[in-house]
Structures are given as C-alpha cells and as structure tokens.
Amino acid sequence: MRTAILDLGSNSFHVLVAEVDGHSVTPLLREREMLHLGREVARHGAIPLEQHQRAVAVVAYLSELARRGGASEVLAVATAALREAPGGQEVITDLSRAAGTDVRVLDGLEEARLSYLGVRAAVAVRDEPVLVLDLGGGSLELAVGAGDQITWAASIPLGVSRLSASINHDPPDRPEVQALREVVDAELDPLVDRITAMAPATTVAVGGTVRALARLAAADQGQWLPATLNQLSVDTSELQRLRERLVSVDTVTRGRLPGMKSSRADHLHVAGVVLTRVLERLGLERITVSDWGLREGLLLDTYAIGTPPSALQLRTDQVTRLRRTFSGDDPHPTHVAHLAALLFERTRDLHDLDATDRELLRHAAELHSIGEALALRRQHLHGAYLVENAELRGFDPAETAMLATLVRFHRSRGISTDHPPFAALSPRHRRRTEQLLAILQVADGLDRAHDQAVTGIEARRRDDVVELLLTGGGLHVTPEELARKTRLFSRVFDVEVHLHDLAAR
C-alpha cells in the first residue's frame, strides 16, 4: 500500500509518500516547506496568526501532494513547536482539518525512538551501542541502543529554530555565539556522564540541518557525492572549521556557499554551533549521517516492519531490490557473483583484499548488468547511473563510488582516472577498486554466454603464471573474448592467465 507521512516540525513541514509492502519501505516522493515555527514561538511566546494561517495552507498543500502521489492513508504527527506553544491545540485542530486526518502530537522520547528505528533501517552499523542524535527545529533528541532495542533516550530544548531567536546580529557577534555554547552546556551537563558511560561505538546524526552541514563539509573537501548522503562520515574537526566559516559571514554570503540551500542560510550557522558543541562535550570525533529518521521510523513502527538483523543483511537486501527491479530473475548476475567470489578466494595470494571487498565484489556482480533494462547500447553507463542514484542504504559514499565504478567499467580495458566517483576515492580505495574490477571482468567473461556452464574454479600459480581450472558443463566463449576479459587481470596482478576448461578434456 502507499502511505504518506506528514511531519509537522518546528523548523519545517514535510511530506513523505512511500510504498509499504509489509517487509520494506520504499520512498517515492518527498517535499518540504520551511516555516520556522520554533523561532516564532521562542520570539513571541505563541504561534502568530500569520504563521498559523501559513501552516494551515502548507498542510493543505502537502496533503494534496500526498493524495496526488497515490497515498491511500495519511499519518500526521507534530513535534516540539506545536507541542509546547500556548494555544497549540487550536492550531493542531486547524491543521488536522487541513490534513483530513488527526494530527498526533509526539513527545520527545517518542521522537527519539522513531528516529532510532529509522536510522537502524538505513545505516549499516555493527551490533554495538549506537548514539543517535536528531537535531530538529525545536529540540535535540538523543537515543542509545543496540540492534532494535533502545536502552536510553532523552529530549532537550536545543532545536535550531528555537535557538535562532536568540541571535540578533548578522553575522552573530562573539557574545551571542558564546551564549549559544553555554545554553548547550547547560542542557547537556546532566547527560554527559550517562552517555559516555554507555560508550557508544558509533554516532549517527539525523535531520535536514545535519545533512546540510554534512553536504557543506563535503563540498569544502571537493568530495564527489552520490544522490544520498546516507552513511557519509564527517569528522568533528571538519564541522568545527565549517562552523567558524558560517558564523563569520552574513546570511547573504552564507547562502552563496557551495552546497548551501538558500532556505537554510539564515539558521545553519546556529546548527553548526549546536552540533559541534554537543560533539565536543561528548568527546565524539565524527558522526555518520543518516538519510532516514523519524518519518521512516514512523512507517516501520506503524506497519511493524522489522529492521535488518545485520549490516550485511541491510546491504544485501538493498542490492537484491535494485537487481530485481532492473534484471528481474535473470540468473546471469547471481552466477557471475558466485564465480567472482570463487575467483576472489582462489587467488588470495595475488591480492590483499578483505571480507568487505569480497562483499562489494559480489554486490557489484549482482548489479553489473542492470543497465541492460534501459538499453543494451551503453548499458554500462546506464548501470553506473542507476547505482549512483538508487540511494542504496547501508553503503557509504566511498563504497557507492566503488560499486558505480565497477559497474561502469566492467566491459572496459580499465578505469578512466577522471571518472568522478573513482577520482573522489583515496589511493587505497582506487587500488582496491582496480583489483576488484580485474576479478569481476574474468568472472563475467566465464559466463559470457549467460548459460551458467562454468560452475567451479580452481587456481594454480607458478611464478608469474596463474592457471585457472574450470569445471562444469564447458566454456562457451571464444579465445579472443577470453583474452579480452583476462587482460586487465594480467595487468593489475602482473601475471599471465591460462584458462583450462576441464570439461573439454
């Protein structure tokens, strides 16, 4: 079924339309409108009539988008600003009427729980304590848990929209920035010891302002990014440098920064101060960004959809979904993945790749031919585009870049060094990608006829010669094609490759 979430936040109102099938959530449409209700409540002590009326109009607009998007059910929730504003119930009544459904007001702990669920379904983390920070317009939610279980949660009034009301200069002066830091300190003081004692191994940050900060930090590094920032890691030191830039310029200049959306220019400097101070007080060196949070968590919770039991399962589910969408039940990609994994294991003495690389190789093999669904000609380009833009959850940007590069060049003589995803990789990641591509090309060549004839591989190495002994029903590939498919392997690993079809003997 198709369901819409209306998230009426303190900074912005959102609609998410998603397909829910009982086992997964697939986002189809997202839209937001900035309202800054938290700032208005902080300044005026209530929601002014003009903002009240605009909020109703925005909800009516987002509800209409949801209906046009095919949503058969609409779930509407409100957070801090509407929860705390005097007269907020009257506003909620009007918003419910505009939405065509009752607006449910979430308390802070429920916000934290739902955000945690969204993160667990989007970010691949080990089964260790995870700290989730949801920086919103009216409050900051914190949750610590492992797996599906939350062990501790809190909500404190450190929302960006709320705190923006205390800034009266553009750019803010030093006393205002210091006052912001002191507000953060006062709210965190009772929590710091408790959080550090739980020793979270990973910190995941959620929210539009967090993603905006992360995008700016990545732009500062000249970093290539896929369609989603999900699983992007950002060092606290990078955020600190970004914060200093943001607080030193006015709103107009801020809005011109590479990667900055103009709608966030008037408050992102406040977000930078708040987020970095939280990280400093908790002694955290980096955050991982999640694209999923409260809205997705609400869908998972409403329809009792469990989160993946492991990081590997999350990533595998995402790849399987994409492969089935574009390759259907074609056995060729899965067979190439099988052969690639065999070749990886049989040639371990040639490479220094690890289990994560083996997993990426299998995923790339599963996806290498998805571009054929669009067109056979230039299918490698179509496939790479799909990988870059599929918003695969559980993969960080470097891993997405590696996957896209492997799909892009699986039929080529080598990797073009100016290919943006590849160029963005570190030298170590580039070397790994080249080795994986060499293995993938051989595996793909062994099933060139798409008949799954080759079922087994053994390898023997003698000096600079590698003999691959192939078992199964016979190799149905021309010698010229095999030579082309092994050329990169020979160059990358500095060996000669000899293929022996044991079925032909």
Tokens of 206: 């959620």
32, containing H or E segment: strand 25-34
Amino acid at 192: V
Which 3 state secondary structure label does DSSP give 238? Answer: helix
Mean pLDDT confidence for 202-206: 98
Q: What is the pLDDT of residues 137-179, one digit of tens each?
A: 999 999 999 988 899 999 999 999 999 999 999 999 999 999 9
Residue 88 has pLDDT above 80, yes or no: yes
Q: Which two tokens stand for residue 453?
A: 């004839």
Q: Is 121 helix (H, G, I), strand (E, B) or coil?
A: coil
> Where do the structural domains in the chain lie, given as residue ranges?
2-105, 109-297, 311-504
Give the residue, 483 or 297, on which the prediction is more confident.
297
Topology (CATH) of 109-297: Nucleotidyltransferase; domain 5 (3.30.420)
Alpha helix (H) residue ranges in 104-173: 108-120, 160-164
CATH of span 2-105: 3.30.420.40
412-469 pLDDT, tens digit each: 999 999 999 999 999 999 999 999 999 999 999 999 889 999 999 999 999 999 999 9
Determine the topology of domain 311-504 in CATH: Hypothetical protein af1432 (1.10.3210)
DSSP 127: S
The Cα 6–Cα 387 span in angstroms is 29
Q: Residue 258: pLDDT band by 50, 70, 90 thresholds?
A: confident
Take residue 499 and report the two structure tokens written for it.
């293929």
Same fold, 2-105 and 109-297: yes
The tokens for 77 are 């929730």
According to DSSP, residue 224 is labeled -
Sheet holding 103-105, edge to edge: 25-34, 12-20, 2-8, 73-78, 103-105
pLDDT band at 183 (very low <50, low <70, confident <90, very high): very high
**pLDDT for residue 220 is more than 80:** no
pLDDT of residue 443: 96
Amino acid at position 485, single letter: K
- Show the tokens assigned to 442: 């051989």
Name residue 283's beta-bridge partners. none
Give the model's pLDDT for residue 51: 94
Find out whether the peptide bond into 175 is cis, omega within 30 degrees of 0.
Answer: no
Residue 341 CB partners (closer than 8 Å, separation 6+): 358, 361, 362
Q: How confident is the model at residue 472 (pLDDT cuts 50, 70, 90)?
A: confident
Tell me the C-alpha distance between 442 and 487, whole Å. 9
Confidence band for 505, pLDDT divided at 50, 70 and 90: low
Residue 14: its H or E element: strand 12-20
Q: What is the pTM of this model?
A: 0.91
Report the alpha-carbon distance of residue 213 to residue 215 in Å, rounded.
Answer: 5
Q: Which amino acid is at 138?
A: G
Nearest 5°: phi and psi at 306?
Answer: -70, 155
Q: Note whether 440 and 361 are within 8 A (CB).
A: yes
CA neighbours closer than 13 Å in the CB half-sphere of residue 333? 26
Q: State which H helix or E strand residue 461 sits in.
A: strand 454-462
- Greater confidence (481 vs 67) lies with 67
Cβ contacts of 411 within 8 Å, gap of 6 or more: 380, 441, 444
For 233, list phi and psi in degrees, rounded to 5.
-100, 135
Residue 202 and residue 124: Cα distance in Å, rounded?
Answer: 11
Decide if 103 contacts 74 (C-beta within 8 A).
no
Question: Which of 314-351 are b and which e, b meaning 16 or more Cβ less than 10 Å from the residue's Cβ?
Answer: bbbbbbeebbeebbeebebbbbbbbbbbbbbebbeebb
Mean pLDDT of the chain: 94
The two beta strands, 465-472 and 496-501, are: parallel
User: Under 8 Å CB-to-CB from 330, ≥6 apart: which residues?
Assistant: 369, 450
Q: How many CB atoms lie within 10 A of CB 427?
A: 7
